[in-house]
Amino acid sequence: MTACIRFDDVHAYYGGAHILHGVSFAIEPGERVALIGRNGVGKTTVVNSLLGIARIGSGVARIAGRALKNPRTFTAAQLGIAIVPQGRMIVPNLTIEENLILGAAPGRKGYWTLETILALFPILKERARSPGTALSGGQQQMLALGRALMGNPTCLVLDEPSEGLAPVIVDDVADIAAKVAAQGTAILLIEQNLSLVRRAADRFGVMAKGRIVSEGSMAGLDIAALHAHIAI
Ligand SMILES: Nc1ncnc2c1ncn2[C@@H]1O[C@H](COP(=O)(O)OP(=O)(O)OP(=O)(O)O)[C@@H](O)[C@H]1O
């Protein structure tokens, strides 16, 4: 089976700043993998390496088996990866429905359509004609998730989806992740909220100083050891 995302010994840089020091991992179709670790260890840089924002100096990052060579910001999307960025990035002068349509990938058909997404997120259906920014933080997170699903991605990348959200909304995010994975979409979850990680991932990798220092299945997750890694 070809991995949706595969990193082999990736070293990544911003200018001369060496941030990723030999990161290797793979996400198989339909898998839910969490990357955890404290602030500044390089989690978002993994995503930025897919987008060409961070430069891959050595090693290979692949999407759907294709090695990325000088990727553009849209290359990952073309290869089936949808990214829900930290901060959500809702377009303020578009309605909720228009924000969703923005995520559509013409030509890539699948389970997710405007109808199935509005059915998954009743609040977005109720307020489809309101501006995207009229929503609360949690609702904007749902909109960002829905917009990403509109492209029927093979892998959904969620960068700190729980940031700034109330615990009850974090539970909603975990439920959505489970429903998305049930449709066969793989998930890369970048997160520090352990209760979300425990509910929304099958496997984890712990990052420290630009490296994956521990990995395994959620069943084998040693919470005490993990706290030691991510304690601020
Ligand atoms: N565009 C950039 N240019 C230069 N350095 C950057 C850039 N983005 C991030 N960095 C640096 O790279 C390192 C890793 O940052 P990264 O955002 O990947 O961490 P993170 O684990 O995602 O943490 P956070 O949760 O704080 O985003 C940090 O030292 C950060 O200051």
Ligand 1 site, CB within 6 A: 14, 17, 19, 37, 39-45
Which tens digits make up the pLDDT trace of 10-28?
999 999 999 999 999 999 9
Residue-range domains of the chain with CATH: 5-230 (3.40.50.300)
Stretch 73-91: mean pLDDT, rounded? 88
Please give the sequence-ordered ranges of beta strands (E in DSSP) within 16-78, or none if there are none: 17-27, 32-36, 55-63, 66-67
Question: ipTM score of the complex?
Answer: 0.95
Tell how far the Cα of 171 is from the centroid of ligand 1, in angstroms: 27
pLDDT range class, residue 168, cuts 50, 70, 90: confident
Residue 232: pLDDT over 60: no
- Between helix 167-182 and helix 137-149 the angle, nearest 10°, is 10
Tell how far the Cα of 210 is from the centroid of ligand 1, in angstroms: 10
Roughly how many angstroms between the first and final C-alpha of the chain, as a whole number? Answer: 38
pTM here? 0.91
Tell how far the Cα of 108 is from the centroid of ligand 1, in angstroms: 32
